[in-house]
Structure 1
Amino acid sequence: MNLADYDVLSFDCYGTLIDWEVGILEVLRPWAQQAGSRLSDDELLAVYAVNEAQAQRDSPTALYPRILADAFARTGGTLGIPVSAEWANKLGASVPEWPAFEDSADALSSLGESYKLVILSNVHRDGFAGSSRRLGVQFDAIVTAEDVKAYKPADNHFDALD
């Protein structure tokens, strides 16, 4: 692949530029510890990931905070640990606080000198706004699940690029 053949680069954001695992664990870990669970971070994330994917399939037009809260409740059900509305809402509101990977801002700044930068993300506009501040660049386009009324891997995000 010759990058000189391209004018635009598109990125998924969470897991690529923003460390969603650390962000989610900042809520899941204390909840699990408070309940006396001995699950590792990897075990918590594995159970959570299955439930988030199912929540997205079940409610493709729901805003991401609701998906997070629903996935958290499902995770609690899977693990037999109740999730209060307070915990669920805390996770739902956490996206703007999720940290960027250490090299994301510099890499995007460098790439932005030669390419238009586009985000394709499974979050909502307000959540991405917080992440965007952490990344420190101006994106040329942002396509969220809120915009296309679907969650990847559905084609809606990619169709919006046309």
Structure 2
Amino acid sequence: MKLSNYRAISFDCFGTLVDWESGIINALRNACDDKLQQVSDAQLIAYFLRQESTILANTPDIPYPSALSKTYASILAKLDRPCDKSKAIHFGNSISEWPLFSDTIKALTHLQRHHKLVILSNIDEASIEVTRARLLCNFYRTYTAQAIGSFKPALNNFNYLVRHLADLGIKKHELLHVSVSRFHDIEPAAATGIDTAWINRADTLNGTLSIQPEFSPSIEPLYKFGSLAELVSAHKAGH
């Protein structure tokens, strides 16, 4: 199917539209007196992913800022650093400071002229509203982990997406899901029968980590692009 033929396009938000990786690294370093200078960016992201995934799996109903605060405390414990409660809270609320990717606004501006755009995010309602305002896009629907009751890569999140769009008259084959993470999004979306577009931001840590052997990707995405800008170029070309 041509990209332009989909009625709706759903996006993972953090990692695909928002550069959570740079946001996390900067927030972690800024919250620590020594700026964690002895720890590499790659190590920080690896620590973050490991601790965050455990916390989300064990407490699926936790608000995302609280999950971030707990993740911060867990990372500092692993690094034998003291944890200041106020800094943990600030880290949990740092989402509004995470930068957008440089191609995000232009891509959304173009795509919303042709499709109903949807967000499917591992975050809470309050935080996604702050982010929506920054994205300057009139999203058709926004579905959060807080509303769904589980976190991606749970299949429940993608079944929820399909059910709710079906209630609005959008069939599964009319939906394309876009994400940078094969682990959190591409694999489970494809497993539920949704067409997928993988944004392979290979120059980011997240792009690399999402295809490490430990994640064992087994389903190939239908489309592959190096950026949202590439997706838009293909869309304009009618591919």
Query: Contact (CA 8 Å) 2:29, 2:36: kept in 1 or not?
Result: no
Trace 1:31-70 onto structure 2 (pairs within 5 A): 31-34=31-34, 37-70=37-70
SS in 2 for 1:16: coil
Unaligned 5+ residue runs, structure 1? none
SS in 2 for 1:110: helix
Deviation at residue 156 of structure 1 after TM alignment: 2.6
Query: Contact (CA 8 Å) 1:29, 1:41: kept in 2 or not?
Result: no
SS in 2 for 1:150: coil
Q: 1:117 is matched with which residue?
A: 117
Q: Deviations over 1:39-78 (max 9, x none)?
A: 1122111111110111100111101011101111111111
Residue type of the partner of 1:131?
T
SS in 2 for 1:34: coil
Residue type of the partner of 1:136?
L
| Higher RCO structure, 1 or 2 (CA under 8 Å, sep 6+) | 1
Aligned counterparts of 2:96 and 2:30: Cα–Cα separation in 1: 19
Q: 1:79 is matched with which residue?
A: 79
Aligned length: 162
Q: Deviations over 1:101-139 (max 9, x none)?
A: 111011001000000000000011111112112210010
Relative distance call for 1:44 and 1:36 in structure 2 (3 A) is closer
Q: 1:94 is matched with which residue?
A: 94
Q: 2:13 is matched with which residue?
A: 13
Q: 1:27 is matched with which residue?
A: 27
Deviation at residue 30 of structure 1 after TM alignment: 2.4
Query: Contact (CA 8 Å) 1:9, 1:115: kept in 2 or not?
Result: yes
Query: Contact (CA 8 Å) 2:31, 2:91: kept in 1 or not?
Result: no
Unaligned 5+ residue runs, structure 2? 164-239
Deviation at residue 4 of structure 1 after TM alignment: 3.4
Query: Contact (CA 8 Å) 1:105, 1:134: kept in 2 or not?
Result: no
Q: C-alpha root-mean-square deviation of aligned residues, in Å?
A: 1.5
Q: Which range is displaced more, 148-157 or 51-60?
A: 148-157
Q: 2:133 is matched with which residue?
A: 133
SS in 2 for 1:9: strand
Residue type of the partner of 1:105?
I
- What TM-score comes out, normalization by structure 2 length? 0.64
Which protein has the larger Cα radius of gyration, Structure 1 or Structure 2?
A: 2
- What TM-score comes out, normalization by structure 1 length? 0.93
Q: 2:147 is matched with which residue?
A: 147
